[in-house]
């Protein structure tokens, strides 16, 4: 099997409502779909989601594809994924979401060629995983109502954005806890918004008042490694690294220096499934659990995260909710939500159908 055609198709997906975190607010999400056609009539789909976090835009993804990636793929055997990943990493610096989208498309072809869903090809540890659903930054009353709505849909885990104002964050989280009850898990994500002192004060106050926080994600700025390490050492709840865990080298550094209790692996940041496998192996050897997260991803990209999360024992957490945020996605299949879990498709490959 050889790749005979490679196409990049950019789209803009409109969010149901503006989404705010500690460092930005967005109303739409750029996604670039990759279509790889083979001489056996199999088609592989992948999707890049460029973002300020990855220092990419739709334009940079398309430039990387047209000037480098397309030329590296035509005529190649798509199932030789590790070889192609090494060639791409060598020839194209940066551009992690572009690499991720291509890597996903190669795995989609691998699964279709084997007539097997990707989560089973990768190891098939489980067939579903509980996911959090995110409550974006808004006035406290709006966030509380959003949390109640999420729980009413059957989800049992909330990821509450914070990091702007510690006092407001405390008030909001306590309000959410009172509204949803004690049986719902609450995770906090500060997106680098706190100092060491503010992070500790927020958690100490919430714990004292019975908020029962499951974990705190990326409380301090990514570049201040030892601030994150100190929060981890002093905090009474587990600390997860996200923005600090960008590349494979970052993941290894976090583990060797014992910077955080757990790591959020996002396929868009690290460059796809192949690199995520490596990062997860690092973490599992060090007995550090992993979360698989997402960005503003169409199901065309998020499906890969779902398949990955279900494949490996060390992935104990999932934050795979981005496909819920769009007014209209262009993808069917890939995964479904039920009773608070996200479930990968049993169709071959990623199991997605793309309507472009």
Mean pLDDT rounded to a whole number for the chain: 97
- Residues assigned a catalytic role: 161, 266
Pairwise CA distance, residues 218 & 11, whole Å = 30
Domain boundary among 115, 148, 166: 115
Residue 54 buriedness (CB in 10 A; 0-12 / 13-18 / 19+): buried
Question: Within this chain, do residues 231 and 322 fall inside the same structural domain, yes or no?
Answer: yes
Under 8 Å between Cβ of 323 and 302: yes
Question: Within this chain, do residues 148 and 291 fall inside the same structural domain, yes or no?
Answer: yes
Q: Is the pLDDT of residue 165 over 70?
A: yes
Q: Is the pLDDT of residue 230 over 70?
A: yes
Q: Is the pLDDT of residue 250 over 90?
A: yes
Pairwise CA distance, residues 252 & 258, whole Å = 10
Report residue 341's pLDDT band, with 50, 70 and 90 as the boundaries. very high
Question: Within this chain, do residues 238 and 152 fall inside the same structural domain, yes or no?
Answer: yes
What is the domain-level CATH number for residue 79? 3.30.390.10
pLDDT at 22: 66
What is the domain-level CATH number for residue 131? 3.20.20.120
Overall domain count for the chain: 2
For 349, phi and psi rounded to 5 degrees?
Answer: 70, -140
Under 8 Å between Cβ of 242 and 293: yes
Tens of pLDDT, residues 271-296: 999 999 999 999 999 999 999 999 99
Q: Which of 215, 265, 225 is nearest to 242 (CA)?
A: 265
Domain boundary among 74, 93, 115: 115
Half-sphere CA count of 188, side-chain side, radius 13 A:
32
Tens of pLDDT, residues 308-335: 999 999 999 999 999 999 999 999 999 9
Q: Which of 317, 211, 210 is nearest to 261 (CA)?
A: 317
Question: Within this chain, do residues 45 and 164 fall inside the same structural domain, yes or no?
Answer: no
Report residue 20's pLDDT band, with 50, 70 and 90 as the boundaries. confident
pTM of the model: 0.96
Domain limits at 25? 3-115
Q: Is the pLDDT of residue 25 over 90?
A: no
Q: Which of 115, 129, 132 is nearest to 215 (CA)?
A: 132
Domain boundary among 115, 143, 166: 115
Q: Is the pLDDT of residue 208 over 70?
A: yes
Question: Within this chain, do residues 169 and 260 fall inside the same structural domain, yes or no?
Answer: yes
Q: Is the pLDDT of residue 24 over 90?
A: no
The answer for 271, left when phi > 0, alpha when psi is -120 to 50, beta otherwise, is left
Tens of pLDDT, residues 294-311: 999 999 999 999 999 999
Question: Within this chain, do residues 289 and 238 fall inside the same structural domain, yes or no?
Answer: yes
Pairwise CA distance, residues 299 & 326, whole Å = 10
- How many other C-beta atoms lie within 10 A of the C-beta of residue 223? 10
């Amino acid at each position: 099997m050889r790749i005979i055609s490679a196409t990049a198709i950019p789209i803009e997906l409109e969010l149901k409502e503006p989404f705010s975190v500690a460092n930005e607010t967005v109303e739409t999400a750029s996604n670039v779909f990759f279509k790889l056609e083979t001489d056996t009539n199999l088609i592989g789909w992948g999707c890049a989601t460029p973002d300020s976090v990855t220092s990419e835009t739709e334009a940079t993804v398309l430039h990387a594809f047209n000037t480098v990636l397309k030329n590296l793929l035509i005529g190649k055997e798509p199932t030789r994924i590790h070889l192609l990943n090494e060639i791409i990493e060598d020839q194209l610096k940066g551009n992690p979401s572009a690499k991720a989208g291509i890597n996903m498309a190669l795995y989609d072809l691998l699964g279709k060629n084997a007539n097997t869903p990707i989560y089973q090809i990768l190891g098939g540890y489980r067939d579903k995983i509980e996911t959090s659903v995110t409550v974006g930054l808004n006035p406290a009353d709006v966030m509380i109502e959003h949390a109640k709505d999420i729980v009413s849909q059957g989800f049992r885990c909330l990821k509450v954005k914070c990091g702007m104002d510690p006092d407001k964050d405390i008030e909001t989280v306590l309000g959410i806890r009172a509204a949803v009850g004690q049986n719902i898990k609450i995770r906090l994500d500060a997106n680098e918004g706190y100092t060491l002192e503010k992070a500790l004060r927020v958690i100490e106050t919430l714990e004292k008042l019975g908020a029962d926080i499951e974990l705190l994600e990326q409380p301090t700025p990514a570049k201040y490694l030892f601030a994150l390490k100190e929060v981890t050492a002093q905090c009474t709840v587990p600390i997860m690294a996200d923005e600090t865990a960008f590349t494979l080298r970052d993941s290894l550094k976090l583990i060797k220096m014992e910077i955080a209790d757990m790591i959020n692996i996002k396929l868009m940041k690290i460059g796809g499934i192949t690199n995520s496998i490596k990062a997860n192996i690092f973490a599992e050897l060090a007995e550090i659990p992993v979360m698989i997260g997402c960005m503003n991803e169409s199901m065309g990209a998020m499906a890969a995260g779902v398949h990955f999360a279900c494949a490996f024992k060390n992935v104990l957490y999932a934050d795979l909710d981005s496909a819920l945020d769009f007014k209209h996605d262009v993808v069917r299949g890939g995964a479904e939500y039920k009773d608070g879990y996200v479930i990968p498709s049993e169709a071959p490959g990623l199991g997605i159908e793309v309507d472009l």
